[in-house]
Structure 1
Amino acid sequence: MTTLLDLAPARRSGKPRGIASICSAHPDVIGTTLAHGRERGREVLIEATCNQVNQEGGYTGMTPADFRRFVFEKAKAAGYDTAKLILGGDHLGPNPWRQFEAEEAMAKAEAMMAAYVAAGFGKIHLDASMGCKGEPEALDDETTAGRAARLTRVAEQTARDNGLPPPVYIIGTEVPVPGGAWHALDGLQPTAAGAARQTIETHRTIFRQQGVEAALDRVIGLVVQPGVEFGHEEVVVYQPDKARDLVGVLDNEPSLVFEAHSTDYQPREKLTRLVADGFAILKVGPGLTFAWREALYGLDLIAGELDASYGERSLAKAMEALMLAEPGYWQRYYQGDAASQHVLRHYSYSDRIRYYWPHPVAAAAVARLSQALAGRALPPTLVHQFVAAVTGHEGPLDMATCLSLAIRAVLDDYAEATAAQ
C-alpha cells in the first residue's frame, strides 16, 4: 500500500511516479504480471470490478474471497511477495443490481462492499453514480456522494470488525465505458476542472454530514476523464494541452492524484506524460488480453504450418463458432454487416472475446493448440512471422514464452511510464 500513499507526495516533490492498475481475471495475465512485478521489485495492484467479482459470483463466478485466493495462488507460483500485493475493488456500488429499486440495489452493494473489505481488498473505488429502477441514468453529485458515504460506512466498520487496516478510497465516476467505447469517439473532452472541484467538495461535505469524515484522510484519488479512450478500431491518445485546466485542479489538492481509466493502447510516451501530469493510477485490462490473444492467434497459425493434422486456424475457427452460438457478450456492441462483425469479434480493441476464454469450448481449443506445440522448440523464423512480441528475444521459443512476452510488452510500457520521473 506504500506506493498508493506516496503518489500525491511524490507529485508535490516534483518527482511524480505512478502505478498500473491491472484489471483482469485472466490467469496468464495475472501470473505474468506477478512474475514481472517480482523481477522489477515493484508493488503490484490488481483490481476486480463489481460485475466481474461480487458476493453472488459475478460473471467470473468468483466472490471477493475466491478472487483473493486465485491471485494469491498465482503469486505463490510466480514467487511474488504478497506483502507487496494490493487488491482493489473497482466501481463498487449498485451497478450489478440497477434493475432493482434503489434501496434493494444499495443493500446488495453494501453486502458486496463488506465482502470485498473482509477479503482484504485495500483500495476501494466508490461508484454509486448510476441510477437504479425508476431513476435517471446518471445521478447528481449529492445523491452519488450520499450513497458513496453509506458504502464507506460499511467498509470502515468491516475493516474494524475484521482487524484489518482501513481501506484507501477513490472517488469520482466520470470515466469511459468499461471495456472501451462502442460509439463514435468524436469530440471526446477531458473532465471540466469545475466539475472535478465540485465532485471533491460535495464528497467532503456529505462525508462529514454522514459521520465518515475520518475516511476523507484516506481518499487518495479522483477518477476523471483525461481525454483518453479506445473504441473498436481506434484509440484517442492523451493530449496534454486539452487537459491543462483539469490538471491544474491538483495544484490546490495536495493530497490527491487522478485515476485514469481505459488507458489501454496508449503509447508509452503518452502514459509517461499522464503520470507526469498527475494521472498517477493508470488502469489497463483489455489491452493485456488483446496482446495475449494476438500472440495466441499467431501460434494458431504456426501450429497449422508445423502439423498438417492440426488444421488451418483451428483455434480461431473454434472461437468463431463459439461466439456465434453464444453471442451475448458481443452482439449488442458490434454493429455492421456480417463481415464487419466477424472482424470485430476477433480483433476489436474492446476485446470482448476475452469473456469467452474461460468457456469449456475455448479452453479445449487452447489445450489442443498447446498439445500440438508441446515439446517443440518453435522455429524462430516462423515465430517472427506470426508473433510480433518476440522481437529481440534471445533463447528458445515455445508457446508459454510467446504468450508471456506478449503480455510483458504491455507491462513494460506501464512499468517504465510509472517509474519515478
Structure 2
Amino acid sequence: MTHSPQIRIAATYMRGGTSKGVFFRLEDLPDPARVPGAFRDALLMRVIGSPDPYGKQIDGMGGATSSTSKTVIVSRSTRPDHDVDYLFGQVAIDKAFVDWSGNCGNLSAAVGPFAIASGLIDAARIPLNGIMTVRIWQANIGKTIIAHVPITNGSVQETGDFELDGVTFPAAEVPLEFIDPAADDEGPGSSMFPTGQVVDDLDVPGVGTLQATMINAGIPTIFVNAASIGYKGTELQEMINSDPDALAMFETIRAHGALRMGLIDRLEDIATRQHTPKIAFVAPPADYVASSGKAVRRHDVDLLVRAMSMGKLHHAMMGTAAVAIGTAAAIPGTLVNLAAGGGARETVRFGHPSGTLRVGAQAKRDGDEWVVTKALMSRSARVLMEGWIRVPLDGAES
C-alpha cells in the first residue's frame, strides 16, 4: 500500500482580536503556494481541515467556526511607505473553498506582532521599549492599516490589562488605524455607498421590503433594522443559529443585498462569496445579558448590533464589520447612525453578543459624497503556538 508523506511548513498559530488563524511567511510556503491558485487553496484547506462534511475540522487547525477557520500570509512589502503585505484567506468549513474577497479586521491586530517576531521588520527599527508602528498593506482590499504594537525589552509585548469583550483573558492593547477604509470608486459595487443612497428599500422575496444601509467600508456590509425582521437586537448566538429558517432568511437578504450592491451578477453567485458581504441588524440601546453573563445596560451603549459571518451569528463582532459600523455611524441618516440617535459623531460604542466595543471614524463631506479618512479601534493579539504545520502531501497536491 502506497502512502504520501507529510510536508512541514513553518507557521504560527495566533489569536487576533476575537479570531484565531494560522499565520505563514510567504517565503516559508512551498514554491507552488507562493502564488495564487489551486495549489495554494488546497494547501490552506488541508491545513485548516476543510472541506469537512462533519463540520468539525477535526483533522486540521480550524475550530469549526467562522472566527477560527482563517489563514494569513505575510511578506515584506515592495510598496512605498509600507512594511509588510498581508493576505487573508477565509476557509469554508464544509466546502472546498477559500474566500479571498475581504479582510479580517480582528486578525489585522496580529499582523504587526507577527511581522516583528518573524523578522519581517528590520531589527534596527524596533525600539527597546515603546511603540513600533507597522504600516500594513492589506492585499485583499488594497488598503493601508497602521498597527501600533507595544514593545518591551526589544520584543512584542503580548500580556497586559487591556480587556476585549469576546476574549476571556486581558492582553496588551494594539491600536489600529484603517486608512481610507471606504472602497474606491472604480466600478460596480466599489464605492462606499454602491447604490448612491445611505438608505434604500431592498425588496427581498419571502421577507418583504426592508430599509437597508448598504456600505462598503472595512468590508461590504448590509445593515437592516432589527425590528423589521422580528428581532430586538439583544439576541445571542443560540437564538439565531439554532433556527434554520432565520439562517435561510439572512442568507436570502444577503444575496439580494449583494446583487443590489453590484458584488454579484446573479443571485446564485452568492454561494461562491461566503465571506462578503456581511449582514447585520441594528437597534436602539436596550438592557441585555451578554453571553459571558455580563450585564450590558442601555446607558453603556449608543446602539445594538448583531452581525452574521459565514452563515452564522458571530459570537462578538468582526473587526471589519466594526469598521463598517463606525463609518456608518459617522454619516447622518444611515440606519446605524439613526439607531445611535442620529446627528454627527466620531465615536460609537455598540453592544454585541459578547459585550461592547468602541470604534471611531472621521467622516466629512466632499461635494455630494461622504469621505471617511480613517477608522480606529483597539484589539489585542497573542501567539498561541509556533513551529511547524504538518500537511499530507497528497492534500497539498489535490
Q: Which TM-score band (shorter chain)?
A: under 0.3
Q: TM-score, normalised on structure 2?
A: 0.27
Higher radius of gyration, 1 or 2: 1
Higher helix share: 1
Higher strand share: 2
